[in-house]
Each structure stands twice: as structure tokens, then as C-alpha cells.
Structure 1
Amino acid sequence: MWWKKNKWKVIVPVLIVAVLAAAFWYGGGAPGLQGWNVADNNTTLSGQPDAAPEDSGTDTGHSGETVPEETGSAEDGTQEAPETEQPDLSEQGVETEDPPQETQTDLISPDDETPAEGIESRPGGTEGGMTAQEKLDAAAELAGGSSPGVQAGDKAYSESQGMVIDPDTGKDQYLTDPVPEGKPLPVEPQDVEISDTAYTCTISISCATILDHMDWLDPEKVELVPEDGWILEPTEVTFYEGESVFNVLQRTGKQQGIHMEFENTPMYNSAYIEGIHNLYEFDCGELSGWMYQVNGWFPNYGCSRYQLQAGDVIEWEYTCDLGVDVGGYYSTGS
């Protein structure tokens, strides 16, 4: 009688205990179950031990944080962790492969799998190399602030034409070297009065040097380079008495829809042309940028200090090697 009335009070707790025990056992909580070994923390599911980390004096936990290495011996109450040796898989008949060698795929030619000559020969190398100051110096030379290699100047001639040269520096107040004999001296923009008298000159803009060094060029700028290198073919334009090369470039760019960006450089009292047609300095190497010549001469001063005369021929050229490739560096004298 008692069993009939109370059997469920006994059966239910027994069933609950059985279910919990089964869950504990088959859920992986039991020691030694399903191949796990409580004493071996370096064993993976595949049964192969993890490779022992290199001894760097620290141990890295699962979170990536660095924790101090355990040290000591049986004498001080601590115990060093046993080293885990990497098994020799070749003895077990398992083939092993050497780790892949790192390759510079960005410098490999698909034809012969050798380093691309163009990038390696670029001024500055494959990863640059110029310091910040060297870049500033290169930019200064392109700005026309006294490039030492454009052409040797004549001090006596320059002084006879009114150029004031500091005997300590050998340059004028804007760090410009004497000009060669027969060449025009710089004229300071703030001293110029522009008249209504009109003249004509010829101006052109070329980036043809980039065509020989397309592998040096910023990939995002490739589509900007015309097939023949001409951004503006030689074009006759009007200018006004007193205007400079910079004035003509600025006005012609607006008329022709050609982008141009410049920066005033007070140190040289001149405008520095940073970009034309969205092609900027350093776009084709660390020694690249815009230079100008007038009547075949590369002035050693900025374009806003060169006062034009009737019939002058202005050529703006993009250089990839600080003027060497356009004949503007150590090319007209020493």
C-alpha cells in the first residue's frame, strides 16, 4: 500500500540523479573521457602535441597578454614546467615540407621572375630612402631656390647688373646664386608694376619623361599621363609687360582648363609649383617634380621672379630625376 502511494516520490528523484550523472559523464566532465588527458595540457584533439614555443623569457597566455615566466627549483618550493619536445615526424613515416620562403612579389616580373629593374633603379630605391630634410632640399631645388647644378653663375656679372650678394654666403638675400653671364637677374614680384602693354610668348607643358618610367609612377596617376606626354603643346599666348613665368602659367592653366597647384615660399620669395594636371612632386619617385626653362635655360630662381620679354619660349617639364632627364642638372656648365 505504501509503495503504491509513494513510488513516484522515489522514482522521480532517482531519474533526476541518473540524468544529471549521464550529462556529467557524456558531456566531457569525466577524467580520461574521449581521449582527453587531464595531466597533458599540450595535447590537441588530433593527438599531436603543439610545437613548443621559443624561449623568450616570457610566456604568452591565451588572451595574448605577456605573463612572467615561472622560475625556481625544488629548493624554493616552486617547480619548473617540463619542456615539451617536438616529435620527429620523419621517423614516423610522415613527410614534412620546408617552410615557404618569403618573396617580394611586388618586385617580380611575371616573365622571368626576377626583380623588376625599373623600380629598383628609381631614385630613392624600392622603398624610398630620402630623409625629410633631403626631400625638402630636393623640393627647394625644384622650386628654383639656388640649385647648385643648373649652371655656374658669374658673380662679377651679377653684381654689375645690380644683384646684391652676401660675401658670407655668396648668394642674395633669397639664397639665390649669381646668374650666368648674359642671363636675366631675378625680379622681385613686390617690386613689379604690370602695364597694359601686351606681348606674346610661347608656353608648353610636358610630362614625357614619365613615359620612360611608368613603373616608377604612382599607380593611381597612370591614367593622367597622355600617350604623347603633352599636357599642353607649344602654344602662343599673350602676356603683359612686367608679368612673370608664373603669371602666364596661372592664366594659361585657367584658360585651358589645366589644373595647377602652387605654394608661396617666402624663403625664396617665389611661388613653387607643386602640381600640374594633378601630377605632383614625388608622384614618380623622390626626385620628381616640375621644372621650367626659358629660351633653353633653366633659371636658378623661382618662376614668379622671372620677368618675361617678348618672344620668350617657356617650357614646363616634369622631371623624374631632379632635372637629369630633362637636361637641367649639371648639364650646361660647371
Structure 2
Amino acid sequence: MEKLRHANQLLQWSEQRQLNAAQLQQASERYPLQPAPADWLAQANLILLFGTTVLLSSAVIFFFAYNWPHMHYFTKFALAGTAVLLSGLVAVCSAPQSLMQHSALLAASILTGALLALIGQTYQTGADIWQLFASWAALITLLVLVSKSRACYLLWFVILELAASRYLHTRSEFFWLFASAPMILNLTLVNLLLMLFADVALPRLGVKPDNLLLRVSAVMFIVPHTYGGMLGAWDNHYQANLLCYLLLSVGLALRYYRYRRDIFVLALLLYSAIAVVTSLLARLLELSDGFFAMNLLALFVIGSSVAAALWLKKQLRRQAGVSA
């Protein structure tokens, strides 16, 4: 994969006319510009292995759903428990940190949630859905830490996000869109912790460097973060959300521009800022002429978006030059 990244960089320089044909040909002798058959095979094996893991785990869940009325609950528990134990046994017998072990631990993590749902459905515990997701995330935490697998961490992040979102749904009328200011602020802070965990803690826990987890957690963070800031422009009850938005945005912008250059996160922060500033301008122009206000807001959105895109493109080129 490292050779392919070098090839992508060389092709970008060639498109930008920073390398001529002779220089590109000379560089291609060290870094092939096209993936070899072995690279395609390795990537296909990775996709097929984890695709098989997800599909087999889903097949077990759908098997219980389809045959639910026709099986005794002891049979259901025996089959579900056996599936979890088999996946755990495969993980123990596999080579440490191998693809097989990662896929087995991913299967065990998914099937643990199916077993929890089976227990709740059988005994009608009366627990809310968010409690199921929270229990699921807590039970697989050790498996995720042991796996050091990005797929397992991605599943863990999604489950935690679902638990937090469903909890807010039980406290508001419709999801978290009509939640109170403290609830949106709490969701923002929870997602911020996940984002910082993906950025700072994962490399120290032995997870291979990858931007996917950081960017997924950044998206989960930026949505309620921006929403709270936009509400703060219109409703005094959300002033704390707006203040939190300003402080966190400035801090994160400094971090991901000066200390850890990540164009994707910077783009999220930039366009989030455009949305919040547009909301503030709309509040200031609330009593102005409607035609004038709409055109001014449209010009601001178009102009700021173009400026943000040009700045991001410049930073991307600068980053490409530094990484050489």
C-alpha cells in the first residue's frame, strides 16, 4: 500500500506539471505507477474476508428473526451462544494480529449484540434501545482493545453513537433535533471525546495509522456541534452551545492546522463555520427587507464556500509538497 501511495503522489505531481515525462519515467522504476497483481489479490482478500464475516454474522441474526416462533428459547440461546463461542475460539486459535483473528473478533462483537437482543426479546426486560446499545458497547470493549482492528473500532464507535443518540431520543420529541441545549451539548462533548480518542489514543493502543476512524468520528462530532451553534444564534437558551462552538472550533482548528494537518477535518470545520455564521447573519438581518437579506446571505454562502475551497486546495497542494 505504501508503494501505491507513492505512485499516487507521483501522478499528482505529473498532473500539476511538477514532473516531466522523463522524471516520471525515472521515478516509476522505483515506485510502480500501477498496482501489481499481488496488490489486487491482497486487497481482494481483505475485502472478501471482512465481507464474509459481516454477511455470516448477519445470516445468524436473520436466521433467528425468521425462525423465531418455531424454536424453543433454550435452542435459541444454545445456538447464539455457540456462534459467539465459535468465533471466539477461532480468534484464540488464529495467529496474533492476523486478518483471521481480526475477522473472528469482529464476528464475536457483532454476535454479542445479537445475543443481547435475544435475551431482551425473550425475557421482555423492558429496557430501552439505548440500554441495549450501551450494554453491547460495554461488553465488546475488551474484544475491541485486544483486536487492535480498525473494523472493530469502527463498529464500537457506531454502537456508542447509536447509544447516545437513542438516549437523547427518549428525552426529546424527535431524535435529538428538538432536544434541550444541555442534551445537544452533552452529545457534542461525547463525540468530541470519541474524536480525540481516535486521534490521540488509538496510535498508542497499537492500531495501525488510519484516517478513516478519525474522519468518521469527526463527522459524528461536527453534526451536533454545528447544529448547537446554529440554534445558539436564534435561541437564547442555546447560548452555551454557541459559546462551546466558538471555543471548540478555534481549538480544533489550531490543532488540525498547526500540529496535525488534516485537510478533511479542516474542511468540516470551515464549512461548519460558514453554516453558523450564515445563521448569525440571518438573525441580524431578520428585520431587514426579505429580498435584500436573501441575496446577501446567498452571496455570503457562495463567496465563503468558494474561498474555503480555494484555501483547502492550496493547503492540499502544500501538504503534498511537504510529504515528498
Normalising by the smaller structure, the TM-score range is under 0.3
Query: Structure with the greater relative contact order (CA < 8 A, sep ≥ 6): 1 or 2?
Result: 1
Higher share in strand = 1
TM-score (norm 1): 0.19
TM-score (norm 2): 0.19
Higher share in helix = 2
